[in-house]
Structure 1
């Protein structure tokens, strides 16, 4: 199955307002043909709005969208040649699997023989050949999602748009479908724009991530770049830094700074322009190690009170408290008990310190939606 190729998809100064509210603010993004790009952020950050602007379901308030030298934001949705996979599948309940997959070809007046060939190929790719004559109500959630994907790719689209397509599936099925989506993307050479609020999903699928906050891009980069070097505390929250602590920078030499707060003192790596004063200290739960630090200047030894433990097989997820009561999330394979006070330590290079201005306002609410 060979879709129509292009070199670049460009979003230039794309904005979308609803009345006085700006939901998407001057988005500039270039996507290379064959790339898998994930738009990541909490509900209301503008990611689905961006996708709907691409699809032609929402007109732009400002800006333009280009496929190479062709401007496409002025075209109606059916003339853009894009495939769309919705969160709720949007299948026709009275049509068979074959009828649903072939519907777009019928609307494009593709000949019967060619249509039959394309539908057969699409069903083979999503491994649903044996289900061609069933109705959607006779399928599992994962099978219905495969039908929706087959319907999107059967038209041989220039671009596939996916709006949180796995959010209605259970955890195990989401893992299977993630692998399936990545396999199809790679085997067909698709260009894909994928919307999600799940950082693990985005990291596993995408070639590049675009993190949005209140309609504004916070960082664009590869999964490795965002995971290893988040630009600010907001991005860090989506990259697994579940502990975001308001502290005060008290000293610093070069890239190394020391911050105090909640009855502890931590040394870490400065991110951005830091000076003595308010800061956000970011730590991943996996980077907090139970026990005494090794001999030498490893630093960052603190004591915490264990409040909640959750058994996860090879490891225990722990909610603990710092001396002044601030919650701290950690994961360990060391047995700990509720009510116990235990020493922990964090390697200096695993502690990131951001200017406080980078993590203002709704950060607490946003962190609740981060999947870690």
Structure 2
């Protein structure tokens, strides 16, 4: 449990630049006590810059940070008292697990009896009692990450900052540690800001997501809100709408918008209130239905079919060569011609972005 409870942490128009490069621009965000916030986006989007500004490891070039009524952006990192969990664990290789966990407490001159008590509690919380006298080199990656988390929570900080803490672990360990981090957050009443590029990780852990792009917040909301109602085509692409189809709006009314291309015609939900011109239609691979003969249907030729257990992840192509990604339990093979349909409410139509919207990597969208 934190020794320093707070009601809210406020970032007001926070920015940081490296010379002429604006790495973070006008980030305004209020974090409530005991909330779990995930900063989400690809490399270079500004999420780690925001975390380092919070930690005091980078100075602000604009804006302010307040912890309740106290302005903290001018304080040194150690004066803020936040806990940090890094991607590379940052453990001292020559110290035992116990000494690593107690190092921050020792630097703060916590009395020995209290220090030992807190280390005992942290060791028990992360379930490392049988490993507490080992050196980090004798531990697995998951165990080392538990030590890093224990070191952070032993300080009983008002805020725990985590920077891609699971990215160096294998897939099985990532799942296990994800559950562990959420459990610790809940059981200890922590307030956590968590940086990740993995949308599945962010969705499973966070109370709210902050999606970043080029140093600018694109959307902030609960996981269901961001997943189901992305604010723009960029957020849609990052949240699993892998099909981002450049089309043209030909008609629009209260029921939806019709969009056409040389190879397909669809009716979708009008997210931006477009009336005509270039648009992007966003569709999740799992929302297509093979063999659908409804109005929102078109033909593709299967090019690649990957076995994913109960279903296949398929890359197909329309008559003009446009790539279409879909999932299906049907056992299709390259060369098959299939008809795909999709419900109107599962086609999100946005005004075309001024620049191409990058599709997320396959491992980020589960396709």
TM-score, with length taken from structure 2: 0.97
Contact 1:101/1:151 (8 A) holds in 2:
yes
**Counterpart pick for 1:355 among 348, 351, 366:** 351
Give the distance between the partners of 1:255 and 1:46, measured in 2 at CA.
38
Q: Determine helix, strand or coil for the equivalent of 2:177.
A: helix
**Which residue does the alignment assign to 2:191?**
191
**Which residue does the alignment assign to 1:40?**
40
Label 1:370 to 1:241 Cα distance change in 2 as closer, same or farther (>3 A). Answer: farther
**Which residue does the alignment assign to 2:315?**
319
Q: Determine helix, strand or coil for the equivalent of 1:58.
A: coil
Structure 1 residue 292, shift from structure 2 partner: 2.8
Pairing of 1:1-372 with structure 2 (within 5 A): 1-293=1-293, 298-357=294-353, 360-361=354-355, 363-364=357-358, 367-368=360-361, 371-372=364-365
Give the distance between the partners of 1:62 and 1:270, measured in 2 at CA.
36
Structure 1 residue 238, shift from structure 2 partner: 1.6
What are the superposed Cα offsets for residues 91-132 of structure 1, whole Å, 9 maximum, x if unpaired?
A: 100001101100000000001111111011101111111100
Structure 1 residue 368, shift from structure 2 partner: 3.6
Give the distance between the partners of 1:109 and 1:230, measured in 2 at CA.
48
Q: Determine helix, strand or coil for the equivalent of 1:145.
A: helix
Structure 1 residue 322, shift from structure 2 partner: 1.3
Structure 1 residue 164, shift from structure 2 partner: 0.5
Pairwise CA RMSD of aligned residues? 1.1
Label 1:22 to 1:85 Cα distance change in 2 as closer, same or farther (>3 A). Answer: same
Corresponding residue pairs, total: 365
Contact 1:3/1:190 (8 A) holds in 2:
no
Contact 2:141/2:169 (8 A) holds in 1:
yes
Judge which range, 254-263 or 25-34, deviates more: 254-263
What are the superposed Cα offsets for residues 17-68 of structure 1, whole Å, 9 maximum, x if unpaired?
A: 1101111001100000000000011111100000000000001001110000
Contact 1:197/1:369 (8 A) holds in 2:
no
Q: Determine helix, strand or coil for the equivalent of 1:367.
A: coil
Structure 1 residue 367, shift from structure 2 partner: 2.9
Give the distance between the partners of 1:156 and 1:71, measured in 2 at CA.
20
Structure 1 residue 301, shift from structure 2 partner: 1.1
Contact 2:2/2:158 (8 A) holds in 1:
no
TM-score, with length taken from structure 1: 0.96
Structure 1 residue 276, shift from structure 2 partner: 1.0
Q: Determine helix, strand or coil for the equivalent of 1:363.
A: coil
Contact 2:210/2:221 (8 A) holds in 1:
yes
Q: Determine helix, strand or coil for the equivalent of 2:364.
A: coil
Give the distance between the partners of 1:7 and 1:262, measured in 2 at CA.
55
Give the distance between the partners of 1:135 and 1:334, measured in 2 at CA.
51
Structure 1 residue 262, shift from structure 2 partner: 4.5
Contact 1:197/1:370 (8 A) holds in 2:
no
Give the distance between the partners of 1:257 and 1:140, measured in 2 at CA.
53
Give the distance between the partners of 1:280 and 1:46, measured in 2 at CA.
25
Structure 1 residue 255, shift from structure 2 partner: 4.5
Gaps of 5+ in 2: none
Give the distance between the partners of 1:367 and 1:184, measured in 2 at CA.
30
